A and B are shown apart, each in its own frame.
Chain A
Amino acid sequence: MIPFKLNDKNVEVDVQPDMPLLWVLRDLMGLTGTKYGCGMAQCGACTVHLDGTAVRSCTLPVSAVQGKSVTTIEGLSDDGDHPLQIAWAEHKVPQCGYCQCGQIMSAAALLSSNPKPDDTAIDNAMQGNICRCGTYPRIKAAIKSVAAKKVGGAV
């Protein structure tokens, strides 16, 4: 059994230790907001937070999260009211939406470590997340709008 914290709840899973966290979340826990896109940490669709840091769950063996805290899009906010989720809706960011959970998770990790990112910091934090529909300009605008509203750096 591998114990870890998932969206603030203690869970245990009985799986092959090398199974990537992505498939544990999707197939065993039923949390399908974390998406499969490439399986080799190239596209960012599977991004979750591990102890607050953005990681690609598709290449992270579940054994590596033992005793740690994992947050998925389902645990980011109570009802889609994280400032970034609100900004995503205001800026009408999504097209197909498939990559957007990963985008939001990467952006949330960025803002928690750097509340006022400039363009370069946004590029650096978000370059691992591909959007085939082409929503990058709106992603950037949405992140900036949240950064601009931040006072004192608190999310």
Chain B
Amino acid sequence: MSTLQNVSRRKFLKGMGITGSALVLGAALPGWAPVWAQSNKASELNLFVAIDADGTVSIVCHRSEMGQGIRTGLPQVVADELMADWQKVKVVQGLADERYGSQNTDGSRSVRHFYQTMREMGASARTMLEQAAANRWQVPLSEVAAKDHQVWHKPSGKHAGFGELAADAAALPAPDISALSFKSKADFVYIGKDLPIVDMHDIITGQAQYGQDMRMDNMLYASIERSPVIGANIDSLDDAEARKVPGVVKVIRMPEQNIPVGFSSLPGVAVLASNTWAAMQGRKKLNISWQQSPHGEHDSAAFQQTLNKRVQEPGRVFRSVGDAYAGLANAVQTHEAQYSMPYLIHAPMEPPAATAVFNDGEVEIWSCTQNPQSIQNTVAQVLGIEKDKVTVHVTLLGGGFGRKSKADYSVEAAILAKASGQPVKVVWSREDEIRHGYYHAISAQYFQAGVDDSGRVSSWVQRTAFPSIGWTFNGTADEPSDGELSLGFGDLPFALDNLSCETQKAEGHLRIGWVRSVSNIHHGFAIGSFVDELAAKLEKPPRQMWHELLGPDRMVDPEPEGFKYSNYGDPKETFPIDTKRLKAVLDLAADKAGIEVPQKAGEAWGISVHRSFVSYVAIATKVKVEGKKVKVLEMHCAADCGTVVNPDRVKAQMEGAMIFGLSLALMGEISVKEGAVQQSNFHDYPLLRIQQCPPMQVHLIASDAPPGGVGEPGVPPVAASLANAIYRASGKRIRHLPINKHLQV
């Protein structure tokens, strides 16, 4: 057996759920320094590929699968460079382990940040197999080549399977990264192909295991009553009746929590029972009174009015070109508008769930999590144990959308497993998910644009206000961070002589989190709507208005204009803001939809375009407005996401983004009274249903640019394209979402 990195290797095999004689390749890549890694340099050991003697190739997927197809996408990159046969590939879900680099599956980063790494892992393993064959045959390395799961000696035709070579290969030193050769695009057999997802059969037969599906011997099911208002702890508890419910085994008070809550559990009372139903029934019998919280006065309707007023006053300028106010004063024509959007919640079909076992000072957790390392860190901190005593398994996720980046529900399971001495599954109900989430921020925006005497829009003031995600973690932030302002607002890509980008104050009163595309949701809606308003006011076709504002082909850089632009964590040299790519997707969507073709009365197209997560997406939406009723008739999406690994999954993400965008624009609203969320389930937080869903097409722009984000960038242009279509069809301009406040949907 190989002596290669014994400790790592054992842990690796354990983590991969395989035992016996599997051999590790690509275990060490000297010189591979992940600049994107969240934390440490220990991830110079990266462990992704193992090969069994029978030729089975195990590839670790270290990112969470929540419907984006990543358990297929990343391994298909490895398999391609490895020259493996996809039919002999087994995908293994990685445990929480910082040596993989970041496992935080959000920010539309999995392919964007790991495409090259996966190629390196595949190429490294392939090179080791080739070297092993060359050694065995006593021939120069240059005479052998891997193909079709075998290594071939070209002059003699000798060949050996990957399985036969695996042991020898694993004993070799890993090749230097700079010595690796990579396939050319023309030779790709998997990258760029529509491979079906590896979990297909399990999903359609009901065998797929999600967080809610965990079952263990002697396991208790927990349902937790949490404080309705953030910042309120328990005043008194009477659990006598709850304990009488058949099946209820234990009642446990959750730890108190004060603001900021961060990723910790919320205060509450857990009812543990022999099945989920009994736990839920017992919970209903709890008699709890809650302490007062300073947030018990929060009223979202009043707060919305406050934000709407604040954005109409000058705020803190964070990006500036020329003199926007002088430009407006001298303008021959001006236009202003104010937009708003309520709080939103994720509502993945699978509510959060986590199972934990606590034994001898160690905890093992199974969670539908987007961020297993965050669970490791948070649980270690909360339980007061070392991080290496926390093992986190990642199940499939029944949707995530940002909710499952948060460790709170896994922390609950760990606390209860320790307190009860039994395995515990914490089951969040739909009501829990809607009422105790990490909400997309309520927001307001204001715009004023000025037209100069040449008829050109040359001056622009824009302001935004929304409570910051930072508040969840520090309890003090009272305006958006630079990172949040970077999401579709401070990166405004328009060619303007005078520009003032400003923020206004907004305090936190709920756990604010990130929901699919984050601040781009409201910024995309507001900017995309305002452009259409300008087009209408200046009597220009929307496509022409967009082209004029986007201006000449160029790379936009907000930094010299005073803004510390985060660019989704990527270098602006590699991923610039490219107006040419914005215009290309705009034109493609407009052409495919035929937005300038005359429509029947009451029907019209609307369009919008937005860059986010370093990808470019335009959406065209056609609606019919009849009296007080709107129906979405058809949608087209044009997307430029750079290099694409699995085009079908990218299209699926764009289809999903259009539907996600329609849900929030048409019907999405979380309202708050006396500090408590008013909605509770799908009857009052409706999502798009099949009869509301229009036919839709996705058009991908072929690109050799580095991979951009895919999961989120389809969402931001949807709401504006829809509102613009409604205006064009009916003359009614909707500036305050959701649309069902104005029209029947």
Contacts and interface: CB of A to CB of B under 8 A. Distances in A.
Given A37-B349, A37-B350, A92 B648 contact: yes
Contacts of B201: 80, 89
A32 B690 contact: no
16 contacts: A27-B215, A27-B276, A30-B215, A43-B682, A80-B201, A80-B204, A88-B204, A92-B652, A94-B197, A94-B199, A95-B653, A96-B400, A132-B687, A134-B658, A136-B688, A137-B696
Contact of B349 (A19, A27, A96): A96
B696 A96 contact: no
Interface string A33-51: 1111111101101000000
B473 to A, nearest CB: 26
Contact of B221 (A27, A80, A101, A134): A27
A72 B691 CA distance: 25
Given A131-B349, A137-B696, A100 B648 contact: no
A96 B204 contact: no
Contacts of A80: 201, 204-205
B420 interface: no
A16 interface: yes
Contacts of B688: 134, 136
Interface of A is mostly: loop
B655 A134 contact: yes
Nearest to A131: B349
Contacts, number: 182
Sorted nearest first, the 3 A-B pairs with minimum C-beta distance are A33-B206, A98-B398, A134-B659
Interface in A51-97: 72-74, 77, 79-80, 85, 88-89, 92, 94-97
Interface string B395-415: 011111100000000000000
A37 B600 CA distance: 40
Given A45-B349, A137-B693, A95 B68 contact: yes
A100 to B, nearest CB: 6
A44 B283 CA distance: 24
A140 B690 contact: yes
Nearest to A33: B206
B204 A136 contact: no
A75 to B, nearest CB: 9
Chain B contact-residue range equals 35 or more
B690 A20 contact: no
Interface in B267-284: 275-278, 280
A95 B431 CA distance: 24
Interface in B62-86: 65-69
Contacts of A97: 67, 199, 202-204, 208, 396, 398
Nearest to A82: B204
A34 B206 contact: yes
Nearest to B654: A134
Interface residues of A, number: 57
Contacts of A127: 689-691
B206 A32 contact: yes
B208 A123 contact: no
B215 A100 contact: no
B690 A129 contact: yes
B348 interface: yes
A100 B210 CA distance: 13
B200 interface: yes
A135 interface: yes
B350 A96 contact: yes
Nearest to B213: A32
Contact of B399 (A77, A96, A104): A96
Contact of A134 (B207, B280, B657): B657
B351 interface: yes
The winner among A39, A77, A96, A129 for most chain B CB atoms within 10 A is: A96
Given A38-B430, A43-B682, A130-B687, A100 B350 contact: no
Contact of B276 (A23, A88, A123, A139): A23
Given A20-B277, A37-B349, A96-B350, A73 B690 contact: no
B668 to A, nearest CB: 12
A4 to B, nearest CB: 17
A34 B213 CA distance: 10
B349 A98 contact: yes
Interface string B158-201: 00000000000000000000000000000000000010110111
Contacts of B68: 95
A99 interface: yes
